[in-house]
Amino acid sequence: MASTPEVGIVIANHDNAAYVTDAIASVSTQTMRNVRVIVVDDHSKDGSHEVINTTLNRLDDKRFHYIRLDRNRGQAGAIRAGLALLDTPFVSFLDSDDYWYDDFIQKHLAAHLNADFPVGLSYCDSHIVNADAQLLAGTAWWFEHDADEPTARRIPAQLVPEIDPESGHAVFKTDTELVLHPQWSPSWASNSMASMMFRRSFVDLVLTLPDEELRLYVDFFLSTLAALLTGTIAIPEALYAYRMHGENKHSNAVVLGGEYNSSKRRWEPIRDAILKQVFNVLHYQADALRSAFGDYRHEQAVVLMRAALRNGHADRGGKSRNKLQELLRRTYS
What is the domain partition of the chain in residue ranges? 7-265
7-265 to CATH, choices 2.40.50.90, 3.40.50.20, 1.10.3210.10, 3.90.550.10: 3.90.550.10
| Confidence class for position 237, pLDDT limits 50, 70, 90 | very high
CA 74 – CA 113 distance, rounded (Å): 31
What's the pTM?
Answer: 0.88
Q: What is the pLDDT of residues 41-85, one digit of tens each?
A: 999 999 999 999 999 999 999 999 999 999 999 999 999 999 999
Q: DSSP string spanning 112-142?
A: HT-SS---SEEEEEEEEE-TT--EEES-SGG
- The answer to whether residue 275 scores a pLDDT higher than 80 is yes
8 Å CB contact between 37 and 105: no
Choice among 62-71, 294-303, 306-315 with the minimum mean pLDDT? 306-315
Is the per-residue pLDDT at 95 higher than 50? Answer: yes
